Structure 1
Amino acid sequence: MSKTYEISAILSNLTERERQELQRLADYSNLKSLPEIWPLVAKRFGDNVALRDPHAKPEVVITYTQLVQKIQQFAAGLQALGVKAGERVSLISDNSPRWFIADQGIMTAGAVDAVRGSQAEREELLFILGNSGSRALVVEDLKTFNKLRPRLEDLAIQLVVLLSDEAPPTDETLKILNFAQLMEIGANHTLEPVEQTPDTLATLMYTSGTTGKPKGAMLSHRNLMHQILALGAVVQPQVGDMALSILPTWHVYERSCEYFLLSQGCTQIYTNLRSIKRDLKEFKPHYVVCVPRLLESIYEGVQKQFREQPANKQRLINYFLGVSEKYIKAQRIAQGLSLTNLNPSTFEQLAARMQATALFPLHALGERLVYAKVQEATGGRIKQMFSGGGALPKHIDDFFEIIGVEILQGYGLTETSPVTHGRRYWRNLRGSVGQPIAATETKIVDPETRKPLPTGERGLVLLRGPQIMQGYYQNPEATAKAIDADGWFDSGDLGWVTPQNDLVLTGRAKDTIVLTNGENIEPQPIEDACLRSPYIDQIMLVGQDQRSIGALIVPNLEALEKWAETQNLHLRLPDEAAKEQNKEDSANKTQVSVESKIIQDLFRQELNREVQNRPGYRPDDRIGPFKLILEPFSIENGMMTQTLKIRRHVVMERYRDIINGIFA
């Protein structure tokens, strides 16, 4: 089990700069549980807007004073209906202000919530309800309830609360209320204070992840409070700053960030994939919590706009981008923040500073003519975008640095509440996931022997600190495998640390592809390099026990069709026969499919170039056979997680015959 820490230990284990930055959180340092924070927050920020959902009908706007009232009312309603301290309540819902009210209402009542999104598969949700032993169920709406109702008879569920205002169905065996009814009961019932300690279980977070059956990570109030305190030493929002919320709010990364940002008096605005481009421009957020896939989407949108410009303007844009790339790389060396040159000599730093000075006028011109317009698409007020939940491709990191939008990459897992490392704005070492946050230890060990490795050598990443979970719920075997007797948690990630203790990740231990020649291939860095190609939208490497690695590629059809036009070709897709075609436009063009030689040759050139240009390229990194597939990996088809990571085992199973075929 993990080592015990007191909040005071978190505060004492800080750098001087972090301690200064953390002064504003002094009032929170003596709290024992997360719910205790909200009355203090309401007292401090009162009529400031806490939660805003512009897409709800009618729009929802909740101040801090109103938020704490609603949380306590929800909690009192649960207590009046018999929910006891320590009991589990399943919370199955997606992003909304009512989710946050329910989440903190359940904890305020002294109960433990087991959370998941309403879009998850029914069997997974039923497993969570059963495994957690929940007696109460809070669901997003009637549709979600109806999905689960036929099997609830087999479970311990006695009470159901709809977060919608739909009329609850009559049921002989279950007590069912809607949100308004529960809040009315709470308004007429006095909230009974519940004694909770830092080690009291707060929530069960079930890891769907990319492999295997869900496991319930047990997170305590200490785990969650550590995140609020430690993140306050890394980022310092101002009262009233806008934060755009798009990730699943029940996911630990978004959830902990919400707790932290709300503890600072920020206004959280809920958005979605359909509305985010408009909301960025309308609300002009200061912070966005995101995953790499969202940043890739913004990048691709910008690249699309660039490709639509006249040829001479495209050349000018590419010229500025090329100059600016040289400028930021020189700046990194001058500042001692280059991952490829961690210990530059005085002469190297001086030369880099001179180069940056020489390039700055052209970079500034590019900023005025090109990059400022890109910044406008993000609202123009971004202080930082926080990226987590997956590896950030190098070209995405470089691009946002060029255009002047700062990305702070972080690292962690569900089991670590989640943040263990983060890049600071005063030490933003691109290519790394930053230094450990307060009271967090990192150890790199040999994956086989578990012996510690020297600084700079790659191995398995072990983590220890106050944010490490208590264990997996009702799964002591999995807990023992994940956390050793000294409290070190096995992250399953591979990486190395710099002399300054920045963590650099190189892949997942479980994702490693072993070729027949014994070489180990980490797919993520190679996949990230390939994504630089404008014609590759998604890619997953395969090749376990083969002579070379192969790839499944989802092409960017829009970019591919545009390329085909420049070659006087018409790209014919399998479903085009069912569409109305502009025959005149394609009559004089050669018809080609994605399987045609010219298209295959294009992708071969793209793969070879991007892989060979990757730092640290080895001959075994070369991608051999590949297959273009037209169905994107998505949440809807089960091939991506809710945080937009590819579920490799699902893709492998779905395309098993194709994979076997390309290696035949």
Structure 2
Amino acid sequence: MDGSRPGADDAGAVDAVRGTQADADELLYILEHSDSVALIVQDLATLEKLTVRSIEGPIERSLRFIILLTDEPAPSVATKLLSFSQVMALGEGAQLQTASSKRTDLATLMYTSGTSGRPKGVMLSHGNLLSQITAACAVVRPQSGEGVLSILPIWHCYERTFEYFVLSQGCTQIYTNIRQVKKDLKQFQPRYMVGVPRLWESIYEGVQKQFREQPANKQKLVQFFLQQSHRYIYARRTLQNLNLENLQPTLIDKLVALAQAIALWPIHQLGDRLVYKQVRTAMGNQIKFVVSGGGSIAEHLEDFYEVVGIQILGGYGLTETAPITHVRRPWHNLRGADGEPVPGTETRIVNPETRQDLATGQQGLVLLRGPQVMQGYYKNPEATAKAINPEGWFDTGDLGKVTAADDLIITGRAKDTIVLTNGENIEPQPIENACQRSPFIDQIMLVGQDQKMLGALIVPNTEALEQWAAAQGKTLAFQSEADSRALTLEHTSVQELYRQELNREVKGRPGYRPDERIGPFELMTEPMSAENGMMTQTLKIRRAVVMERYRGMIDAMFS
């Protein structure tokens, strides 16, 4: 945690935060929209990114000073500029004067990820943030000194409030990044970890890559253990009433599950000793559980981590709710669901058009009310009134349902719903999650609004594809080459491989409907990332940005 944020809290200041990877236009928009009187930048590169675009006009007039959190030689700017050493020197001998803030006072402006349009400034009070500590305490009480590994941007709402919690419990906070995470897991052996689905996918892919590099006989043995262990964990879930496909098992269901669990337990234990223990060792071998947010977890990831003995506690929330509203409990970890509400939180599922309450198990629009709901959008009363009704219910914009045990299951984003010409509504996320079970698919985004069928933009897993090509005595090329042994992404055999993968994964999904079949698709060489603007900082796809960038390709797919 950088020292500027708690310092601002102590001073009673309101911060407006953003990551350095955001483009200059977005940073300057937030700087001006937030009416900031001071600017704190991480390094010289960030400052230069802003000054190149010129901090001028209303922004320059409102800024009193700029703090550079390094001692790098800085360019000349009109606004007073202080280096980190200069700020520290100013503080020497000064008397600390903390502000007397109330729970209802504004604490921060957290700008939304901007997946569509301009980011909105979410007004979170001290009470909103403090409610998150209470919420987390209802789920886990870590011991003082236990290590927590964090990989998310420290300015992000999810990471920020989780930090408040773990530090309030006396934990040791360990920061890492995507390049160092595997090394840090082994070195620091954390007890807990917080992340997003893309992180768990990355670790999973690394393990699968190691499996694929083993001799053929070892690969077969690993696959045998994984298949039998999958059967074992599903039987165990049924016995625990934690099988999402059968939440109310009959006595016969439980007897069958018990017989399966007893028969498969020795195989699962042998697989644990020979295979799964190595996966846990690679992750430090001390993790009690990991907490996942920022999107739904694909079913194959849930299954894999349960098989290898690493428990994932999925949750749900938004920036507007500070962010946690629901989380799975260690003693009631219903895989595939987003958890029970945290203390003080109410959930309603309503018809999107009539706003009438729907029965348990029916899908509708998710409304929330609780101590974590924001005060509103900064300088945007119209958007605030649209999001929060007079009774305090916040419209999440998400579609979902609740179980009889009050577990929330998010099924999609209302704005992401794809409507085909036959009137069928398709939620893309669950289908995309299913497709990512394929070792040949790294990223996928469904398209098809107002079309007869779904289409897909796919970023291949190049390592898996290269191994597949090598097994056929071929090489993989991303451009046309004279070598007759080189396969391009447009080659018939490559296209047929992906057609088979899509058909198998989509049709194998529970509750499959014919309208969910994927028709045309395109294989893309450019991954979707935060750096190229096609993903948010928490690695969620910016669908509107991708649609705009590949509009011509998408139109051609359906022509």
Q: Which bracket does the TM-score occupy, shorter chain normalised?
A: over 0.9
Is 1:102 aligned to residue 4 of structure 2? yes
Deviations 1:225-282 (A, max 9, x none): 0001110110111111111111011000011111101111111111111111111111
Report if the CA contact (8 A) 2:21-2:530 is conserved: no
Deviations 1:379-405 (A, max 9, x none): 111111111001110000110000000
Which one-letter code corresponds to 1:524 in the other structure?
Answer: Q
Partner of 1:591: 486
Which one-letter code corresponds to 1:649 in the other structure?
Answer: A
1:658 maps to which of 545, 553, 559: 553
2:24 maps to which of 113, 116, 122: 122
Q: State how far apart, in whole Å, the 1-side matches of 2:524 and 2:44 are.
A: 37
Is 1:495 aligned to residue 390 of structure 2? no
Partner of 2:276: 371
Partner of 1:629: 524
Partner of 1:42: none
Q: Offset of 1:168 from its aligned partner? A: 4.8
Report if the CA contact (8 A) 1:330-1:356 is conserved: yes
2:375 maps to which of 449, 466, 470: 470
Deviates more, 1:409-418 or 1:175-184: 175-184
Q: State how far apart, in whole Å, the 1-side matches of 2:75 and 2:27 are.
A: 21
Q: Offset of 1:317 from its aligned partner? A: 0.4
Q: State how far apart, in whole Å, the 2-side matches of 1:130 and 1:591 are.
A: 52
SS at structure 2 position matched to 1:153: coil
Q: State how far apart, in whole Å, the 1-side matches of 2:56 and 2:503 are.
A: 57
Q: State how far apart, in whole Å, the 2-side matches of 1:193 and 1:506 are.
A: 45
Deviates more, 1:230-239 or 1:533-542: 230-239
SS at structure 2 position matched to 1:332: helix
Which one-letter code corresponds to 2:126 in the other structure?
Answer: H
Q: State how far apart, in whole Å, the 2-side matches of 1:594 and 1:305 are.
A: 24
Q: Offset of 1:569 from its aligned partner? A: 2.2
Q: State how far apart, in whole Å, the 2-side matches of 1:247 and 1:208 are.
A: 14
Q: Offset of 1:169 from its aligned partner? A: 4.8
1:153 maps to which of 47, 56, 59: 56
Q: Offset of 1:350 from its aligned partner? A: 2.9
Report if the CA contact (8 A) 1:292-1:391 is conserved: yes
Partner of 1:552: 457
2:136 maps to which of 201, 220, 231: 231
SS at structure 2 position matched to 1:642: coil
Q: Offset of 1:625 from its aligned partner? A: 0.5
Report if the CA contact (8 A) 2:480-2:488 is conserved: no
1:335 maps to which of 229, 240, 253: 240
Which one-letter code corresponds to 1:661 in the other structure?
Answer: A
Q: Offset of 1:573 from its aligned partner? A: 1.9
Q: Offset of 1:193 from its aligned partner? A: 3.1
1:316 maps to which of 221, 237, 241: 221
1:246 maps to which of 151, 158, 183: 151
Structure 1: segments with no counterpart, 5+ residues: 1-96, 578-586
Which one-letter code corresponds to 1:270 in the other structure?
Answer: Y
Q: Offset of 1:575 from its aligned partner? A: 8.3
Deviates more, 1:202-211 or 1:528-537: 202-211
Q: State how far apart, in whole Å, the 2-side matches of 1:350 and 1:660 are.
A: 53
Partner of 1:290: 195
Partner of 1:46: none
TM-score (norm 1): 0.82
Report if the CA contact (8 A) 1:169-1:176 is conserved: no
Report if the CA contact (8 A) 2:114-2:120 is conserved: no
Which one-letter code corresponds to 1:339 in the other structure?
Answer: L
Partner of 1:433: 338
Q: State how far apart, in whole Å, the 1-side matches of 2:427 and 2:86 are.
A: 53
Report if the CA contact (8 A) 1:335-1:349 is conserved: no
Report if the CA contact (8 A) 2:488-2:494 is conserved: yes
Is 1:307 aligned to residue 212 of structure 2? yes
Report if the CA contact (8 A) 1:570-1:591 is conserved: yes
Q: State how far apart, in whole Å, the 2-side matches of 1:214 and 1:242 are.
A: 34
2:473 maps to which of 558, 568, 584: 568
Is 1:602 aligned to residue 497 of structure 2? yes
Partner of 1:649: 544
| 4+ residue runs over 3 A deviation | 167-171
Which one-letter code corresponds to 2:54 in the other structure?
Answer: R
SS at structure 1 position matched to 2:438: coil
Q: Offset of 1:187 from its aligned partner? A: 2.4
Q: Offset of 1:167 from its aligned partner? A: 4.2
Partner of 1:614: 509
Q: State how far apart, in whole Å, the 2-side matches of 1:146 and 1:562 are.
A: 43
Which one-letter code corresponds to 2:56 in the other structure?
Answer: E
Q: State how far apart, in whole Å, the 1-side matches of 2:514 and 2:529 are.
A: 31
Is 1:398 aligned to residue 300 of structure 2? no
Q: Offset of 1:163 from its aligned partner? A: 1.3
Is 1:525 aligned to residue 430 of structure 2? yes
Which one-letter code corresponds to 2:9 in the other structure?
Answer: M
RMSD between aligned residues: 1.3
Q: Offset of 1:152 from its aligned partner? A: 2.2
Q: State how far apart, in whole Å, the 2-side matches of 1:378 and 1:474 are.
A: 45
Q: State how far apart, in whole Å, the 2-side matches of 1:343 and 1:194 are.
A: 53
Q: Offset of 1:170 from its aligned partner? A: 5.1
Q: State how far apart, in whole Å, the 2-side matches of 1:122 and 1:209 are.
A: 14
Classify 1:176/1:304 alpha carbon distance in 2 versus 1 (closer, same or farther; 3 Å). Answer: same
1:267-286 to structure 2, matched below 5 A, reads 267-286=172-191
Q: Offset of 1:449 from its aligned partner? A: 1.2
Which one-letter code corresponds to 2:195 in the other structure?
Answer: C
SS at structure 2 position matched to 1:152: coil
2:45 maps to which of 107, 132, 143: 143
SS at structure 1 position matched to 2:49: helix
SS at structure 2 position matched to 1:439: coil
Deviates more, 1:178-187 or 1:617-626: 178-187
Which one-letter code corresponds to 2:499 in the other structure?
Answer: R
SS at structure 2 position matched to 1:151: coil
Partner of 2:384: 479
Report if the CA contact (8 A) 1:237-1:264 is conserved: yes
1:352-363 to structure 2, matched below 5 A, reads 352-363=257-268
Which one-letter code corresponds to 1:163 in the other structure?
Answer: L
Which one-letter code corresponds to 1:128 in the other structure?
Answer: I
Q: State how far apart, in whole Å, the 2-side matches of 1:575 and 1:639 are.
A: 27
Partner of 2:88: 183
Report if the CA contact (8 A) 1:442-1:463 is conserved: yes
Which one-letter code corresponds to 1:423 in the other structure?
Answer: R
Q: Offset of 1:347 from its aligned partner? A: 3.0
Q: State how far apart, in whole Å, the 1-side matches of 2:462 and 2:480 are.
A: 13
Which one-letter code corresponds to 2:364 in the other structure?
Answer: G
Report if the CA contact (8 A) 1:417-1:469 is conserved: yes
Which one-letter code corresponds to 1:613 in the other structure?
Answer: G
Partner of 2:100: 195
TM-score (norm 2): 0.97
Q: State how far apart, in whole Å, the 1-side matches of 2:476 and 2:65 are.
A: 56
Deviations 1:360-416 (A, max 9, x none): 110000000000011111111111111100111000011000000010001100000
Which one-letter code corresponds to 2:493 in the other structure?
Answer: I
Which one-letter code corresponds to 1:413 in the other structure?
Answer: L
The size of the alignment, in residue pairs, is 555
Q: State how far apart, in whole Å, the 2-side matches of 1:353 and 1:228 are.
A: 39
Q: Offset of 1:208 from its aligned partner? A: 2.2
Q: Offset of 1:186 from its aligned partner? A: 1.8
